[in-house]
Amino acid sequence: MSDGIAWIGAHHHTSSAAAPGMLGGISLTLARGVERDEFLINLGADPDELAAHTPYRELPAPAGQPGRPSPRLNRAMYGMCGEWTYVLEDWGMATWATGYQGKAESMLPCEGEEIVCLTVNRFSPPPLIIHALGAHAYRADFGTDTGQGSELDAALGAAGAVFPSMPAASEAEVVAYFEEHGERLPELVFTAVGAYTGVAIDQEVVKAGDLPGVLIAPA
């Protein structure tokens, strides 16, 4: 394994064009307490495609039916680490985050489930952390914590991923801190989530597109 998942944050500002796999601008969704294929189907994956276990690099290009426009499909790769299912996407958002915030019924977590989602939010910055524990979800911009005093919040603080903010610090101090450390913020956030979950994902495997992939049609 290469650096847990910190490498994902380190390449936050890298171009996402890393065919045949992914490298830059990756959003990550982690889920436990729900069976892997069930979670992916809830995201919009096709059950037959899941059963095929097609490597991401071999996914066919999305195609519509004759006379109909192609559906909006997002490419994703996935895997398991310990009790966590992970889903990687580099199209600018995390499908789970967009569905959950849009109140898509299939994306709403149930009791006994936990989801940690790091969405790049390319189209509506800043990047966002969503931590769902059962039916309750808490959000934080990168650089802050959820305010719940959770183990995830503690990990964010320990990794240096919680930056000073007003009114505890002056505007000048906040600006100076972001100018000095802001470039590393995504790496620090992913470091913290890796420490909290224990998830590690091999960078070279992701870059090569060797993990199984699916085309997701969001709700």
What type of residue is 65? Q
- pLDDT tens by residue, the chain, 219 residues: 456 999 999 999 887 665 799 999 999 999 999 999 999 999 999 999 999 999 999 987 665 444 444 457 889 999 999 999 999 999 999 999 998 887 778 788 888 999 999 999 998 889 999 999 988 899 999 999 999 999 999 999 999 999 887 577 787 887 888 888 889 999 999 999 999 999 999 999 999 999 999 999 766
d(CA 79, CA 56): 11
Contact 216, 62 (CB under 8 A): no
Cα–Cα distance measured from residue 87 to residue 13, given in angstroms and rounded to the nearest whole number? 19
d(CA 72, CA 5): 28
Query: Which pTM was predicted?
Result: 0.91
